[in-house]
């Protein structure tokens, strides 16, 4: 059943997503063409527009998926979705997995576009492309190996928690007790989610004992320390903290798990279609 749900998700969203991604990709490619051809004025402007388009690609796609989630679960299509012989947890799992896969694919596409912007920048600055890439590669190579993987894993983990949290809040906002708020329910829910995440992340970064050293010979190394000691010292002396806490990552997973549990209960017991 999960395979069928995923197949339906991809078949029902590919046109909309293809149009959105196609338009943004076209804007980026046309803008990069101006930079690659070294057109006066238009070249630097094109590079800036292309960079902005690539940065906005993933957020725009995720917003489209969030709107689709709300419409297919609680809009007019919600009656069909809720009539399917599947449990709410399966619906939530299928839709979040679909959004996660699309988000990862879009991230890879944006990363590929970032390489093209590097080529365009080299052309504008009349620097050999190979030299530009070697400088970029040397910068990555200078980082500790664990740091590179930490960034990759952290980015994927952040995407997973973001997708699960947003989908869960949308489902919780659709409970009957929030009907009087109308479209304001999901908007308020997302604002509350943002505030909760900010507080939880700050507390986790300060006190969960896992962090990365920022200064000295051990720079880039993982340590079993949070930021509280460095934070107090920074407030007292004005010095920069020597460790950045990573507690927000596991804390985000815990928040996502709790919201997913609440969302499953909401879908299976308290769904109220508009």
Q: pLDDT, tens digit, for every residue of 18-75? A: 999 999 999 988 888 877 777 777 777 887 888 899 999 999 999 999 999 999 998 8
The answer to whether 89 touches 271, Cβ cutoff 8 Å, is: no
Q: What is the dihedral of CA 257, 73, 269, 88, to 10 degrees?
A: -60
pTM of the model: 0.87
In 3D space, the residue among 186, 176, 193 whose CA is nearest the CA of residue 259 turns out to be 193
- Residue 269, judged by CB atoms within 10 A of its CB (0-12, 13-18, 19+), counts as exposed
Specify the pLDDT at position 141: 63
In 3D space, the residue among 34, 55, 53, 50 whose CA is nearest the CA of residue 124 turns out to be 34
Each domain of the chain, given as residue ranges in start order, spans 15-142, 144-208+247-274
The residue-averaged pLDDT of 6-24 equals: 92
Q: How many CB atoms lie within 10 A of CB 190?
A: 16
What is the C-alpha to C-alpha distance for residues 57 and 49, in angstroms, rounded to an integer? 12
Specify the pLDDT at position 47: 79
Longest dimension (CA), the chain: 63
Q: How many CB atoms lie within 10 A of CB 182?
A: 10
Q: Which of 6-20, 77-91, 140-154, 194-208 has the lowest mean pLDDT?
A: 140-154
The residue-averaged pLDDT of 4-17 equals: 90
Specify the pLDDT at position 18: 94
Question: In the structure encoding, which two tokens stand for residue 98, read together?
Answer: 């679909």
Local structure of 173: helix, strand or coil: helix
How does residue 16 score in pLDDT terms, banded at 50, 70 and 90?
A: very high
Half-sphere exposure of residue 23: CA atoms within 13 angstroms, side-chain side: 8
Specify the pLDDT at position 142: 62
What is the C-alpha to C-alpha distance for residues 129 and 152, in angstroms, rounded to an integer? 25
What is the C-alpha to C-alpha distance for residues 97 and 91, in angstroms, rounded to an integer? 10
**pLDDT for 236 beyond 80:** no
**What residue has token string 């395979």?**
3
Question: In the structure encoding, which two tokens stand for residue 113, read together?
Answer: 């576009």
Q: How many CB atoms lie within 10 A of CB 176?
A: 11
What is the C-alpha to C-alpha distance for residues 107 and 110, in angstroms, rounded to an integer? 5
Question: In the structure encoding, which two tokens stand for residue 237, read together?
Answer: 């002396």
Q: How far apart are the first and last CA of the chain?
A: 26
Quick: pLDDT tens for 136-160. Answer: 666 666 666 567 778 888 899 999 9
In 3D space, the residue among 204, 223, 6 whose CA is nearest the CA of residue 100 turns out to be 6
Alpha helices by DSSP H, listed for the chain, are: 2-36, 42-74, 78-83, 88-124, 129-141, 145-173, 184-207, 228-237, 248-269
Specify the pLDDT at position 92: 94
Per the prediction, the chain carries an average pLDDT of 85
Percent of the chain with pLDDT over 90: 43
Q: How many CB atoms lie within 10 A of CB 19?
A: 11
Sign of the alpha-carbon torsion through 63, 69, 72, 78: negative
Specify the pLDDT at position 40: 74
């Amino acid at each position: 059943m999960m395979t069928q749900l995923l197949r339906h998700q991809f078949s029902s969203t590919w046109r909309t997503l293809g149009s959105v991604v196609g338009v943004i990709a076209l804007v980026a490619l046309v803008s990069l063409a101006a930079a690659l051809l070294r057109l006066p004025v238009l070249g630097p402007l094109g590079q800036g527009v292309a960079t902005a388009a690539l940065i906005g690609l993933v957020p725009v796609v995720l917003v489209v998926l969030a709107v689709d989630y709300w419409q297919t679960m609680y809009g007019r299509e919600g009656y069909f979705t809720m009539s399917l012989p599947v449990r709410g947890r399966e619906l939530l799992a299928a839709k979040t997995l679909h959004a996660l896969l699309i988000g990862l694919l879009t991230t890879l596409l944006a990363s590929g576009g970032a390489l093209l912007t590097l080529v365009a920048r080299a052309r504008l600055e009349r620097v050999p492309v190979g030299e530009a890439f070697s400088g970029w590669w040397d910068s990555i190579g200078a980082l500790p190996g664990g740091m590179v993987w930490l960034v990759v894993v952290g980015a994927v983990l952040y995407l997973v928690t973001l997708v699960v949290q947003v989908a869960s809040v949308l489902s919780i906002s659709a409970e009957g007790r929030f009907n009087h708020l109308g479209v304001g329910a999901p908007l308020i829910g997302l604002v509350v989610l943002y505030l909760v995440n900010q507080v939880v992340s700050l507390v986790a970064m300060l006190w969960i004992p896992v962090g990365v050293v920022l200064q000295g010979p051990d720079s880039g190394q993982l340590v079993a320390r949070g930021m509280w000691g460095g934070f107090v010292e920074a407030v007292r002396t004005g010095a920069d903290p020597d460790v950045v806490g990573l507690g927000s990552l596991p804390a985000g997973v815990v928040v996502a798990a709790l919201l997913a549990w609440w969302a499953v209960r909401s879908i299976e017991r308290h769904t109220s279609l508009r």
